[in-house]
Amino acid sequence: MSQGPPLPPLEQTVPEVVVQRLPQYVRVLGALVREEVEVVSSHQLGERLQTTPAQIRKDLSYFGRFGKQGRGYSVGNLQRQLKDILGLSRQWNVGLVGVGRLGLAILSYPGFAPEGFRIVAAFDADPTQVGQNIGGVGVYAMDDLARMVQEMDISIGVVAVPGMHAQQVVDRLVECGVRAILNYAPTSPQTHEGVRIRNIDPVLSLQSMTYYLMGPERGENGQSQE
Amino acid sequence: MSQGPPLPPLEQTVPEVVVQRLPQYVRVLGALVREEVEVVSSHQLGERLQTTPAQIRKDLSYFGRFGKQGRGYSVGNLQRQLKDILGLSRQWNVGLVGVGRLGLAILSYPGFAPEGFRIVAAFDADPTQVGQNIGGVGVYAMDDLARMVQEMDISIGVVAVPGMHAQQVVDRLVECGVRAILNYAPTSPQTHEGVRIRNIDPVLSLQSMTYYLMGPERGENGQSQE
DNA sequence: GCTTGTGAAGACCTTCACAGCA
DNA sequence: TGCTGTGAAGGTCTTCACAAGC
């Protein structure tokens, strides 16, 4: 799975949970920038993020030393560094598969572009959809997927097709070289080696909350996120 | 936080991760029912769910003994049992806050009702929205929240307001007695004791995937879900 | 034979607690 | 004094491995 013996820098492997928390740190730092706060301690960050200061310091320590003892972290600097680490200092081109009700909602969602995620092409299996232009985004046939991924430098796929077809769409995307997929279909597709999938599945979220709504008292601790 | 000394039945506390996996089990079991499979082993379930058989057996063992040695689990029976445990054998009334673009998309999403989640009322701070009827769902003022939660037996809140207002909406819902909240706003609200919040945040999902798209080779293992 | 249920072992992540430094 | 960065300790979740039973 890994390479030969030379063994490059190889920064100690970072737990996936940590990577998943970093974007939240970036977001809070963005809020602090807007509030014109210049320095922040791990304790203050912990309050905003509902975590412990230790967690934040430990997380950051996987990537470097960003703070100053006795003072804390420079808000602007830390935000910039984390964005660089996460790859958020650049734009990413996104391909959307499925322009049904859900796909259209995603296309019209204004939250992606400001964060650097640009939907540059849409795809659909239905020939009557192909050729359309929806809010500036062209709709292509699935057969054009490989070509368009190349030509438009698409590195992220968004899947918004019926659950029944999600797996094959994921497989197609992976074949075409896409290694990060955001899946809105109510199915957890089989994952491929080296490919990241994140599922957006509100029904599953609801279904795990109802457990705590049952019985007289099952909700002992009141946390939990995402 | 816990009670006195009598210490009732108190089934060993179930890890939250386990509760979050159960709905996926239920879903796969549903697929097996439709395929008319009658018996399934933890190994087979593990294949479909990309987990180990041991994980599944351990998870189930928190709730009872559902299998038969040498045979496996009765698909129908196991599904029924898990649904009962999760509270999925009944309907749940849901209140939606925010009927902007996102709220409307949620209202028209056909995936909730078949799973037993019925959106019975919508709320909005904008007086010009109040009084509408959207696909059979009335839009009420925020001042009616407490009353409607009572009258309509709303136990789950869905938040679809701008990030800026998410926290206060969550607080209002909690005040009104709602203890399970699905939050679509791009903010992680502070959680209250005894209240469950699940955040639907596609941008955060994207932002944690880009990390693995950076650099020559950082994506060592190719798993990860949600 | 095959598969469950489970204590014990192990891996992983979080929290503690303190040395080091501004 | 105040706060970071971090090894070590502690907890939690996962995996192993096997007794029990069909």
Mean pLDDT of A152-158: 98
Range of the domain at A69: 16-86
CATH of the domain at B38: 1.10.10.10
pTM above the 0.85 mark?
A: yes
The token pair that represents B26 in the structure block: 């239920």
**Do B30 and B104 lie in a common domain?**
no
Q: Is A178 a domain residue? A: yes
Tell me the C-alpha distance between A154 and A168, whole Å: 18
Tell me the C-alpha distance between A119 and B199, whole Å: 23
**pLDDT tens, A166-223?**
999 999 999 999 999 999 999 999 989 999 999 999 999 999 999 999 976 665 544 4
Which residue do the tokens 């045979």 mark? Answer: B71
Check residue B100 and give its pLDDT: 97
Q: Of all protein residues, which has its CA closest to the C1' atom of C14? A: A55
Tell me the C-alpha distance between B178 and A209, whole Å: 12
A215 touches strand C (CB under 7 A): no
**Do A67 and A129 lie in a common domain?**
no
**Is residue A73 within 8 Å of residue A39, measured between CB atoms?**
yes
Q: Regarding beta strands B133-134 and B137-141, do their DSSP bridges make them parallel or antiparallel, or are they unpaired?
A: antiparallel
The token pair that represents B124 in the structure block: 């909005």
Contacts of A120 by beta carbon, 8 Å cutoff, 6+ apart:
A93, A94, A95, A137, A152, A154
A105 pLDDT higher than 90: yes
Looking at CA atoms only, how far is residue A54 from chain B in angstroms?
19
- Mean pLDDT, rounded, of chain A: 92
Q: Is B6 a domain residue? A: no
**pLDDT tens, B9-66?**
345 699 999 999 999 999 999 999 999 999 999 999 999 999 999 999 999 999 999 9
Please state, as a whole number, how many other Cβ atoms lie within 10 Å of the Cβ of residue B129: 18
**Do B102 and B200 lie in a common domain?**
yes
A219 touches chain B (CB under 8 A): yes
Query: Is B193 close to A50, i.e. CB distance below 8 A?
Result: no
Which 3 state secondary structure label does DSSP give B97?
strand
- Mean pLDDT, rounded, of chain B: 92
Tell me the C-alpha distance between B90 and A41, whole Å: 47
> Which phi and psi (to 5°) does residue A214 adopt?
-80, 175
Tell me the C-alpha distance between B145 and B148, whole Å: 5
**Do B50 and B132 lie in a common domain?**
no
**Do B101 and B126 lie in a common domain?**
yes
Check residue B2 and give its pLDDT: 34
Task: State how many domains chain B has.
Answer: 2
pLDDT in tens, chain B (226 residues): 333 333 333 456 999 999 999 999 999 999 999 999 999 999 999 999 999 999 999 999 999 999 999 999 999 999 999 999 999 999 999 999 999 999 999 999 999 999 999 999 999 999 999 999 999 999 999 999 999 999 999 999 999 999 999 999 999 999 999 999 999 999 999 989 999 999 999 999 999 999 999 976 665 544 444 4
Picking from B22, B178, B195, B203 by the largest number of A CB atoms within 10 A of its own CB, the best residue to mutate is B203
Mean pLDDT of A30-38: 98
**Is residue A157 within 8 Å of residue A182, measured between CB atoms?**
yes
Q: Is B221 a domain residue? A: no
Chain D positions with a protein C-beta closer than 7 Å: 1-7, 12-17, 20-22
- Domain stop point among B85, B117, B145: B85
**Do B98 and B196 lie in a common domain?**
yes
Q: Is B11 a domain residue? A: no
Report DSSP letters for A5-54, one per residue. Answer: SS--S---PPPHHHHHHHHHHHHHHHHHHHTT--EE-HHHHHHHHTS-HH
- Domain stop point among A86, A106, A133: A86
Comparing alpha-carbon positions, the chain A residue that sits nearest to B177 is A213
**Do A196 and A136 lie in a common domain?**
yes
A61 touches strand D (CB under 7 A): yes
Phi-psi region of B64 (alpha: psi -120 to 50; beta: other; left: phi over 0): left
Cβ contacts of B207 on chain A, cutoff 8 Å: 22-23, 26, 86, 88, 115
Looking at CA atoms only, how far is residue B88 from chain A in angstroms?
7
